[in-house]
Chain A
Amino acid sequence: MSTLIAGTPLAGRVAVVTGASSGIGEATAERFAELGAKVALLARRKDRLEDVAERITSKGGIALALPTDVTDRAAVRAAAERISVELGNVDLVFANAGVQLISEIGDLKTEDWDAQIDLNIKGVMNTIQAFVGSLEAAGTDGRPADLITTSSIAATRVLEKFQVYSGTKAYISHITRLLRTELGRKNVRVSTVEPGMVNTELPDHVTDPDASKLMADLIHQIDVLQSADVAETVSFVAALPKHVNLTELTILPTAQII
Chain B
Amino acid sequence: MPFVDQITLEDNRYPLRHRVAVITGAESGIGAATAAALHARGAAVALLGLDGRRLEEQRSRLPGDGLSFAAVADVTDRQAMSRARRQIMDSIGVPDLVVSNAGVMNGGPLRDADVHDMTQMIEVNVLGMLHTAQLFLPDLEEAAVGSRPSDLIFIGSIAGEVLFPNFSVYGASQAAIAQLARTLRAEIGPNGVRVKLVEAGVTLTRLGKGISDRVARRELEDLREIDLPLTPDEVADAVAFAATLPPHVNLSELTVVPTKHGRLGAV
Contacts and interface: CB of A to CB of B under 8 A. Distances in A.
Interface of A: 1-2, 4, 177, 180-185, 187-189, 194, 222-225, 229, 232-233, 236, 240-258
Given A225-B248, A229-B249, A184 B189 contact: no
Which residue among A182, A187, A256 has the maximum number of chain B CB atoms within 10 Å of its CB?
Answer: A256
A225 B237 CA distance: 22
A188 B260 CA distance: 8
A185 B246 CA distance: 35
B147 A251 contact: no
A224 B259 CA distance: 31
A245 B249 contact: no
B2 interface: no
B228 A249 contact: no
Contacts of B261: 184
B6 interface: no
Contacts of A243: 228-230, 258-260
B245 A233 contact: yes
Contacts of A225: 248-249
B242 to A, nearest CB: 9
B81 to A, nearest CB: 26
B259 A249 contact: no
A31 B257 CA distance: 24
Nearest to A247: B255
19 contacts: A2-B12, A4-B15, A180-B262, A185-B260, A233-B241, A233-B245, A240-B234, A245-B257, A245-B258, A245-B259, A249-B254, A250-B253, A250-B254, A251-B251, A254-B189, A254-B249, A254-B250, A255-B190, A255-B248
A185 B227 CA distance: 11
A182 B253 contact: no
Contacts of B263: 180-181, 184
Contacts of A224: 248
Contact of A229 (B228, B245, B253): B245
B247 A254 contact: yes
Given A244-B256, A247-B255, A181 B262 contact: yes
B238 interface: yes
Interface residues of B, number: 39
Contact of B250 (A187, A240, A251, A258): A251
A215 B180 CA distance: 27
A182 B194 CA distance: 34
Contact of A252 (B15, B189, B238, B255): B189
Nearest to B255: A248
A233 B260 contact: no
Interface in B194-253: 194, 199, 228-230, 234, 237-238, 241, 244-253
B192 interface: yes
A187 B256 contact: no
Nearest to A254: B250
B137 interface: no
B192 A255 contact: yes
A210 B147 CA distance: 29
A229 B12 CA distance: 16
A257 B246 CA distance: 18
Contacts of B258: 243-245
Interface string B45-58: 00000000000000
B89 interface: no
A4 B194 CA distance: 18
Nearest to A145: B259
A253 B248 contact: yes
B117 to A, nearest CB: 30
Interface in B10-41: 12, 15
A250 B247 CA distance: 15
Contacts of B254: 246, 248-250
B172 interface: no
B186 interface: yes
Nearest to B263: A181
